[in-house]
Amino acid sequence: MYREFKTLELAKIGEEILKFWKDEMIFEKSISTRSKAKPFTFYEGPPSANGMPGIHHVMARAIKDIFCRYKTIKGYQVKRKAGWDTHGLPVELGTEKELGITKEDIGKTISIEDYNEACKKTVMRYTDVWNDLTEKMGYWVDMHDPYITYKSKYMETVWWLL
């Protein structure tokens, strides 16, 4: 028989740990205290923030985080870059549905510029939910300066690589 713990409050313990990590800047210190160590840079395979995160995102992020934490334990300076995937058919279809248009309407009833702006707003709709999940699950990644795939800097980098 297992001993029952009636006073174990996992949610409260989790909140205390997250508060400690945030107050003491533990993630940032895991990088700054290793400034002269061999670098290991992780670019997150970015999610699209035009939809809500699901359990499959939590599972994938937990696995990614294991590799970064392992490298940290091994003495590397592990920089972790968050990103947002802002391209693709789901973004376009969601925006068209929201605007009540079809692809044939683009350039006719709505300008390409206005359509692009609408897509940019749509694709970033749930970033707050994603950021909250990222923090609560203890997934350490730099959310303050993410790469965003619709930004010119990102696209130009990809073009230069090709």
Identify any residues that bridge with 40 across adjacent strands, giving them in sequence order. Answer: 78
Give the pLDDT score at 49.
84
Phi first, then psi, for residue 82 (nearest 5°) are -80, 165
CA-based angle 59:61:65, to the nearest 5? 120
Give the pLDDT score at 31.
97
The structure's pTM equals 0.84
Mean pLDDT, contiguous 10-residue spans, the chain (162 residues):
77 93 96 97 91 94 97 98 92 94 95 95 93 95 94 91 88
